[in-house]
Amino acid sequence: MPGRSTRRRSRSGGGRRRFWMSPHRSAWTSPLVLTVLFAAHWGVIVAYLPQRAEAVGADIGLFFAADAFAIFASRVPTGWLADRVPTRWLLLVGIALTLASLAFLLPQPSTALLVVAGVGTGIGGGFIVSPLLLEFARRSGPADRGSAFALFSVAFAAALSIGSIGGAPIVALGGFEPALLAGMAALGAAAVLTMLDPSLRISRRGAAHHEALVGPAVDSPGMVEVPPA
């Protein structure tokens, strides 16, 4: 019957696809907040570390090259782990590695310290970005997954702005170190949120098995939709 087929298309989203953002899901909130808290320190680094390194003759380019190479090399192994290990533990490892690496930037920088810090921040970023992207995929459906990834990009860009623009008065008053410490405090807050969020305890494979039995997630890992008969 026409009415029944119309209701089915409306329920599944068929025939109603629009070229704009899908409504925000509450299940995206935790990964978005974690993205902002993780990336805020990068705004401080990009905006203020080059001048600090140049003042003492250290090669800042090697820091960014080491970070880029490390995060590129770590994406495959961290992606493999993200499919098998609960997100919580990967995020905590990534946060710990990033904090340890940022500590190398607090003293007067040298080229060697910058390279070590860059490798550490790159590996730490791999442990954080890969599972976060999988979390967005797991908490979304085919119709709104693009919106979830778009919000991830917006959150990352917003974090860079917060770190650079928000760090300006801190740098003006106390220098680079207090601004970087503020970014490290944001990473500490990300670790606390990671520990408190129960949905991050689920492994990707466990979630896939659960959804195979009862259907895909609608608004959070604890809410599922049973397909109509």
Amino acid residing at 135: E
User: Smallest Cα–Cα separation from 109: which of 52, 164, 66, 178?
Assistant: 52
Over residues 13-20, the mean pLDDT reads 46
Does 47 reside within a domain? yes
The domain that holds 39 is classified in CATH as: 1.20.1250.20
Residue linked to tokens 């380019």: 61
Read off the pTM.
0.78
Mean residue pLDDT of the chain comes to 82
The pLDDT of residue 210 is above 60: no
Do 153 and 99 form a contact (C-beta atoms < 8 A)?
A: no
Q: Tell me: the pLDDT tens digits for 73-130?
A: 999 999 999 988 999 999 999 999 999 999 999 999 999 999 999 999 999 999 999 9
Does 222 reside within a domain? no
Three-state DSSP class for 217? strand
Residue linked to tokens 């466990």: 206
Do 64 and 49 form a contact (C-beta atoms < 8 A)?
A: no
Q: Tell me: the pLDDT tens digits for 55-66?
A: 999 999 999 999
Q: Predicted confidence band at 23 (pLDDT cuts at 50, 70, 90)?
A: low
Does 10 reside within a domain? no
Does 12 reside within a domain? no
Does 93 reside within a domain? yes
Q: What percent of the chain has pLDDT over 90?
A: 64
Q: Predicted confidence band at 204 (pLDDT cuts at 50, 70, 90)?
A: low
The pLDDT of residue 7 is above 60: no
Q: How many domains does the chain have?
A: 1
Does 5 reside within a domain? no
Does 163 reside within a domain? yes
The pLDDT of residue 193 is above 50: yes
Does 141 reside within a domain? yes
Backbone angles phi, psi at 218, to 5 degrees: -100, -60
More confident residue, 193 or 6: 193
Q: What range defines the domain where residue 185 resides?
A: 26-215
